[in-house]
Chain A
Amino acid sequence: MSTPSWLLSYTKPSLAAVKKSTAVYPDPPSFNKDIILNTKAKHGKEIVGPTSEERDTLKVKKAWEIALAPSKSLPMNAIMSYFSGSSLQIFSLTMTFMLFSNPAKAIANVGPTFARYESESTFSRILQAKLVFIALQLATVAVGLWKMGSMGVLPTKRSDWLAWESETPVLERGVFMS
């Protein structure tokens, strides 16, 4: 016994619908199939899509644009860091935090960011862009480090290690009889 058609139409509704839509249903009113399909005939010229090289160049160009984007915000970050002062305030602290968190996020997402432009043929060129992108993000981190340094939260001075210094052992035991 073969499967009844009503069961098929319920279990495989899409197939049936697609088939029906193309085959059975008429075009909507005022839809002129000829105009849409025969553009060549109308314009007298064949539309040719971009070649794969062109496509790749475009992709690489786009990738480079993304890779160099951080360089635009870098001077602004640096200037803001400089002018926000070295005091420990909520504004400068958040800003400093951003200087670390954003590059970290960007570096972590470097694959997905460039995935759209990646293909086997552009791999090496995209890799360059990626490296530049990472380098620029690291430059942002460097600004953050400089900011932290100016805020005095980097253990760069002697006093930062004072707590780890141990007392000088004393050899003699002296007792003063008051």
Chain B
Amino acid sequence: MHVRALSLFLALATATLVRALFADEAFVVDWHIASIGSIAPSRALVSPDSVTVFSESSVLASLDTVNGTVRWRHLLDESAVSQHSHLTRLDSSAVLLVAATPADAAITHVAAWFEDSGYLIWDAYLSGGAPVGVSVAGDVYILLSGGKIQRLSRSTGSVVGEYSLPDGYSPVDIVASKDSISVITRKQDKGLGYFVLTGGSGELADDTYILIDKNPAAVSVTKAEGYNSNIIAWTVPGEFMTIKIAGMSGTSAQPLTVTPKAPYASFSLTSSTSGVVATITGIDGKSWTETYIFSRGKLTLVGATDPTESALAVSDGTLFKISKTSISSFALTTTGAKLASNTEIQLPPSSVEFAKCGSSACLVGFKNGEYVLATTTTGVAWTRDESIADVVSALFVDLEEEGESSSLGEVLFEENAAPLQAYIHRVRRHWKALAGLPQYLIGFFQRFLSGDYDAVPVDPNSTVSDTFGFRKFVVLATTRGSLRALDTAHAGAFAWKVDDVLESDAIVGIVQGDAKDELYVVGAFGTVAYVNALTGKVMTISKIADFGLGDKVESVVAFVHDGVQYIAAWTAHGQLHFLKASSPATSIYFSKVIDNVVAGYVFKEDRLIPTWQFTLPTSYKISSFAARHPGDKTVSLGRVLGDRSVLYKYLNPHILAVAAVDDTTKSAAVFLIDDVSGRLLYSSFHENEAVDTAAGVKLVVGEHWVVYSYWSDLPARGEKLVVLDMYESDIKNERWSKDQNFSSFTETPLPFVQGQAYLFPEHITSLAVSRSRFGITNRDIIATLDTAQIAVLPKRLLDARRPINRDPTNDEKEEGLVKYDALIGEDKRFIVSHVYNVLGTKKTICSPAYLESTVLVFAYGLDLFFTRITPSQPFDLLSKSFNKGQLLLTIFALMVGVRFTSPIVKRKQLNMRWGTQK
């Protein structure tokens, strides 16, 4: 945590030193969207000043109640599984997060955080299992899954007391109040009961055990604190008309039965001074509340609300009712619910998942991942879309070029119509186009004078690209089944949103069709939607024909073969479905990683036939795999050396790089396989290096090289970046593939592989490679770091031909090689995310702009980050600082000068000829 804060500070402090991008480009060419992830109601605290949540992406964050911005957030290592993490209020200014650490679920991390600043107050690590229940009353009581109760000081976090449950009792929950602490447990033959904690002994005795229900199958325990005594409620399976409730006192428990007025699906219990309030959701989906008071050992129903479709939430004796158009609050009294306020609001159309309320505001969660804070006084305060924090798949969509959409159809019409008709049509079209002339002229002069193409901004509502192709849409498919399109030119504003594209099918992948605006969305259960990528309109939705029962789509890929585009979906049953065109006529070789094995298939005559399998050495597990991007272009077939001879690149398009790790020996291995024939081309092993196998190996394949990275402790602690350059031969000017056809099935020579390893000081979480329009520009390696930064390393730096332990010779200098230095990094120029704190990015995608020099980069995971990089400098674009005015002025001055001097010179020359002037 401190490391992260420190690194952010360093990034801020050194921001002026950043040369990777010019200061005037920061915040202009790039943007960043900070997310927190999905919010679970059980781990959200709504207070008048802030909304503090521990999200399902393990982000502890505090949101501003006024505008919804993130006041502070921390990406933690703690488990975000709801059973293993608890967020409660420690006191009025602090929150307490108790969660299991995923690295070792037996360790629980308890941390108290200031709500305003996000600073840590204290923290403690507890052994004994994941936290089952947490209760704060004077001290902090934590019930661990191992049967231990830890009592921590509220102010310092030091352990004050420790108790353990007798054998055979499994912990369920803990309820603490000023007077007593009850530990609810379950025992196989004794049913549900609780221990009363008296303190001191450290061991809970059987005589403090109070049985409340003998039914051993009692499940779904709900607790409520605060009424006269603590209350628990539980249900009996199969009985939809009874809720059992018991008040827990020090001596005995009297189970009482509550009979809701209709069968229930779920309920929650709150208790207040006025009584116990049960919020019940019926099996028909409607909700209502029932208020009970204890009187003479009985629960008496004092009031119930009418069943409603609206979401209900109870907080501190106030009932909030949230419908699509209004938020109302009711005071719950001993005589029933009384309307306190009613405010008109406008909520998103998606269905409400939960409502969590504070004293006057409600955090409403929607099924599509949107969250709204609605207050009873002002209505909707803000809306946050957190679906973009859980992205399944993302891709860049090219926009139309200017005028393309409007004129193409009309021009086609004119080409085919009768001459007169076509002529009239054209005149009309041009007349209509004249309306745009003033605008065009203004824009032209603005651009001409300023020399700045951004002088005329692109309309955010249009679907037209800018001059240089910097504006594209990034389409994100989320785990909640929705699509989001972000506009790269407008700071990632939503261009369009579609919820539930596949009609409650989970999205597996999105791929682009032939046309720019064709988007195919494929779901796990074989649903395929064809979506217009520019407008988000769902054009058609269908199911894959002959989709197997219980089968699931695992991956989707689009490829072009013999000029026809195919979209293929691979299913768990090993079926291959072609979604768009009919299945290809010629043989196609498919490969797929299935359960630690790389398997090859040939698709021939409408059948998928297994051909080869690549099995790893025993105890190795596949960590990652990568193939070259099909859009990656090769311009030069060889590498020109200093003496102008050529090393020919090994440009086998079938290279598949597979990285594997061995947990027992802490080693890693990388295999380069021909994915058509299954032939092993190269392998490299990293043994005795104490590789961090949990972090795995990150891989990327470029045109004739592979770059991978892994964290290891030996011989030097750090991230190792390894580059493998593949050449056809180690002999200069030798090209065996010349005038031949390349086939994976012939015994072609193995590639000559040169490798070098570098040390990078930060953890790398993912690697990607830049891809320019024509492939002429150098390539950059884009690495996401766990310091919440994005680094861009030139591939020229990661070059396996750099001379080691000597200065480069003249020829090597000519080749652009510098002396090998194992350590790279510590150079802030590599960081393109400058001051942004880009948390939790897991993947990076690239897309070329229209300019050859520029590549668009988009990283996603938790946060979204977009920037443009120019790996070979912006050689085809004038810099912003270019003074066009001065250039024009100089030209003008020269023209004036020539106008005046030319007659003078002419006269002089004439005089010289006449000899009148010496």
- Chain A contact residues, CB within 8 Å of chain B: 152, 157-160, 162-163, 165, 167-178
Q: Majority SS of interface residues in chain B?
A: loop
Residues of A within 8 A of B591 (CB): 174-177
Tell me which of A159, A172, A178 contacts B557 (CB under 8 A). A178
Q: Is the CB of B645 within 8 A of A170?
A: no
The 8 closest A-B pairs by CB, nearest first: A157-B644, A168-B737, A159-B640, A174-B676, A177-B592, A174-B654, A176-B627, A171-B743
Residues of B within 8 A of A171 (CB): 741-744
Bound-state CA distance A175–B705 (Å) is 19
Bound-state CA distance A113–B5 (Å) is 85
A158, A172, A178 interface centre (most CB from chain B within 10 Å): A172
Bound-state CA distance A167–B561 (Å) is 18
Question: Known contacts A159-B645, A162-B637, A173-B587; can you find 8 more A-B pairs with CB under 8 A?
Answer: A152-B644, A162-B638, A167-B637, A168-B742, A173-B561, A175-B559, A176-B557, A177-B590
Tell me the smallest distance from the CB of B655 to a CB of chain A, in Å: 9
Q: Is the CB of A158 within 8 A of B590?
A: no
Bound-state CA distance A163–B555 (Å) is 38
Bound-state CA distance A163–B654 (Å) is 23
Q: Is the CB of A177 within 8 A of B742?
A: no
Residues of B within 8 A of A159 (CB): 638, 640-641, 644-646
Bound-state CA distance A106–B587 (Å) is 67
Residues of A within 8 A of B646 (CB): 158-159, 162
- Given contacts A159-B644, A162-B637, are A177 and B570 in contact (CB under 8 A)? yes
Is B568 among interface residues, defined by CB-CB distance under 8 A? yes
Bound-state CA distance A165–B561 (Å) is 24
A159, A160, A163, A168 interface centre (most CB from chain B within 10 Å): A168
A-B contacts, 15 of them at CB < 8 A, read A159-B638, A159-B640, A159-B641, A159-B644, A162-B638, A168-B740, A169-B741, A169-B742, A170-B653, A173-B587, A174-B588, A174-B654, A175-B588, A177-B591, A177-B592
Is B596 among interface residues, defined by CB-CB distance under 8 A? no
Tell me the smallest distance from the CB of B631 to a CB of chain A, in Å: 14
Tell me the smallest distance from the CB of B70 to a CB of chain A, in Å: 33
- Given contacts A168-B738, A178-B555, are A158 and B654 in contact (CB under 8 A)? no
- Tell me the chain B residues, 600-659 only, with Cβ under 8 Å from chain A: 625, 627, 634, 636-638, 640-641, 643-646, 651, 653-654, 656
Residues of A within 8 A of B852 (CB): none
Bound-state CA distance A80–B269 (Å) is 99
Bound-state CA distance A170–B746 (Å) is 12
Residues of A within 8 A of B653 (CB): 170, 174
- Given contacts A162-B638, A168-B741, A172-B589, are A177 and B555 in contact (CB under 8 A)? yes
Q: Is the CB of B589 within 8 A of A157?
A: no
Residues of A within 8 A of B645 (CB): 157-159
Residues of A within 8 A of B640 (CB): 159, 162
Residues of B within 8 A of A167 (CB): 634, 637, 651
Residues of B within 8 A of A160 (CB): 644
Interface 0/1 of B507-533, CB less than 8 Å to A = 000000000000000000000000000
Residues of A within 8 A of B745 (CB): 172
Residues of B within 8 A of A165 (CB): 637-638, 735, 738
- Given contacts A159-B638, A167-B637, are A172 and B590 in contact (CB under 8 A)? no
Bound-state CA distance A85–B738 (Å) is 36
Q: Which residue of A lies closest to B641 (CB)?
A: A159
Tell me the smallest distance from the CB of B705 to a CB of chain A, in Å: 17
Bound-state CA distance A171–B589 (Å) is 11
Q: Which residue of A lies closest to B627 (CB)?
A: A176
Q: Is the CB of B557 within 8 A of A177?
A: yes
A157, A160, A163 interface centre (most CB from chain B within 10 Å): A157
Is B733 among interface residues, defined by CB-CB distance under 8 A? yes
Bound-state CA distance A56–B628 (Å) is 80
Bound-state CA distance A174–B559 (Å) is 10
Q: Is the CB of A158 within 8 A of B743?
A: no
- Given contacts A172-B589, A176-B656, are A163 and B636 in contact (CB under 8 A)? yes
Tell me the smallest distance from the CB of A46 to a CB of chain B, in Å: 44
Is B213 among interface residues, defined by CB-CB distance under 8 A? no
Q: Is the CB of B568 within 8 A of A172?
A: no
A160, A172, A176 interface centre (most CB from chain B within 10 Å): A176
Residues of B within 8 A of A172 (CB): 587, 589, 654, 676, 743-745
- Given contacts A158-B644, A162-B646, are A175 and B590 in contact (CB under 8 A)? yes
Tell me the smallest distance from the CB of A39 to a CB of chain B, in Å: 38
Bound-state CA distance A168–B675 (Å) is 18
Q: Which residue of B lies closest to A157 (CB)?
A: B644
Bound-state CA distance A172–B637 (Å) is 19
Bound-state CA distance A158–B570 (Å) is 45
Residues of B within 8 A of A174 (CB): 588-591, 653-654, 675-676, 744
Residues of A within 8 A of B638 (CB): 159, 162, 165
- Tell me the chain B residues, 533-577 only, with Cβ under 8 Å from chain A: 554-555, 557, 559, 561, 568, 570
- Given contacts A157-B644, A168-B740, A169-B742, are A175 and B637 in contact (CB under 8 A)? no
Tell me the smallest distance from the CB of B395 to a CB of chain A, in Å: 13
Q: Is the CB of A175 within 8 A of B589?
A: yes
Q: Which residue of B lies closest to A178 (CB)?
A: B555
- Tell me the chain B residues, 238-268 only, with Cβ under 8 Å from chain A: none
Tell me the smallest distance from the CB of B311 to a CB of chain A, in Å: 40
Residues of B within 8 A of A168 (CB): 651, 737-738, 740-742
Bound-state CA distance A132–B645 (Å) is 38
Tell me the smallest distance from the CB of A88 to a CB of chain B, in Å: 13
Bound-state CA distance A71–B590 (Å) is 71
Q: Which residue of A lies closest to B600 (CB)?
A: A174
Tell me the smallest distance from the CB of A87 to a CB of chain B, in Å: 11
Q: Which residue of B lies closest to A170 (CB)?
A: B742
Bound-state CA distance A136–B744 (Å) is 58
Tell me the smallest distance from the CB of B782 to a CB of chain A, in Å: 18
Tell me the smallest distance from the CB of B576 to a CB of chain A, in Å: 8
Q: Is the CB of B570 within 8 A of A173?
A: no
Residues of A within 8 A of B643 (CB): 157
Residues of B within 8 A of A162 (CB): 636-638, 640, 646
Bound-state CA distance A177–B576 (Å) is 10
